Amino acid sequence: MRDVTITIPPPCDVTLGMTCVDKSQPGLTVWQMMAAGSFANTVGVVQGGFLTAMADSAMGSAAITFARAAGRKGYSSSIEIKTSYLAPARVGSMLECTARVVQGGRRVMFAEAEIVDDQGTCITRSSGSYLFTSTEP
């Protein structure tokens, strides 16, 4: 296995301004992020790629907590992601993403995520598959 340097928090989460607010339950994580003006598209709402990136990070971390609960060390990589955009994310709103592993195997885990805004509106629903790579010999 090649050497991998794992940075916590990852630079992508720092760039998005994501904060983990709960990872106390294996396979479930909750994250928050301010819908920054720099994420806006031409009509003034958050561009969908930023929302999918938030869901991806949240689902990936849920996969890691799931694996760690089984005593495994490593990292997860997204294999595929699908996001349904249900409502616009308003610039300036606080977004919360809840992600959970719905099925986990030794190498591949399936997760779902939902992003809601600070008014309780469901903004997106995502599903993804994650490949777990062990960092143990």
pLDDT digit string, tens, across residues 9-31: 777 778 888 999 999 999 999 99
Q: Is residue 78 part of a domain?
A: yes
Q: Is residue 38 part of a domain?
A: yes
Provide the percentage of residues in the chain whose pLDDT is more than 70. 93
- In which domain, by residue range, is 83 found? 11-134
Alpha-carbon distances, residue 43 vs 49, 53, 81, 123, 130 (angstroms): 15, 20, 25, 16, 33
Q: Is residue 5 part of a domain?
A: no
Between 14 and 107, the higher pLDDT residue: 107
pLDDT digit string, tens, across residues 27-69: 999 999 999 999 999 999 999 999 999 999 999 999 999 999 9
96 is written with which tokens?
């919360």
Q: Is residue 2 part of a domain?
A: no
Q: How many CB atoms lie within 10 A of CB 56?
A: 21
Q: Is residue 3 part of a domain?
A: no
CATH number of the domain that residue 20 is part of: 3.10.129.10
Number of domains making up the chain: 1
